[in-house]
Amino acid sequence: ELLEETLFLTVNIIDRFLARENVVRKKLQLAGVTAMLLACKYEEVSVPVVEDLILICDRAYTRADILEMERRIVNTLNFNMSVPTPYCFMRRFLKAAQSEKKLELLSFFMIELSLVE
């Protein structure tokens, strides 16, 4: 039940963090969950609690692990969480173009497919 912008910001945070820091495979899920936590704090009204994220990871990490990774990500990115995402761009572009609903759905589908790239 998260906003679409949260997904795109999460991927952006992961990309920027991994471009600057090496993360061992065992900690990759931790980096992803922590990036989602940071994106939620930035975009969402209701932020998931850390204990819920621990359950998502099947208790592979502790609260201290998540908070330490959060500190590491924020410091690596120099607290720069406000970045343009493809979703934000597409939303503004389609509004300016006064597009019809079918084009909007196709456009958002295409940018979601590009997330894995």
As for how many domains the chain has, the answer is 2
Q: What is the pLDDT of residue 1?
A: 82
* Residue 100, domain extent: 84-116
Which two three-digit tokens encode residue 13? 């945070």
Tell me the H-state helices in 1-117: 4-20, 28-43, 50-56, 63-76, 86-97, 101-113
Residue pair 35/13 in contact by the 8 Å Cβ criterion? yes
Q: Are residues 46 and 93 in the same domain?
A: no
Q: Are residues 71 and 106 in the same domain?
A: no
CATH number at residue 44: 1.10.472.10
Q: Are residues 41 and 96 in the same domain?
A: no
Tens digit of pLDDT for each residue in 16-65? 999 999 999 999 999 999 999 999 999 999 898 999 999 999 999 999 99
Q: Are residues 26 and 53 in the same domain?
A: yes
- List, in order, residues 6 or more apart from 53 with CB less than 8 Å away: 33, 34, 36, 37, 66
Q: Are residues 51 and 101 in the same domain?
A: no
Q: Are residues 63 and 41 in the same domain?
A: yes
Which two three-digit tokens encode residue 5? 């912008």
**Any idea which residue has 């295409």 for tokens?**
110
Average pLDDT over every residue of 9-14: 95
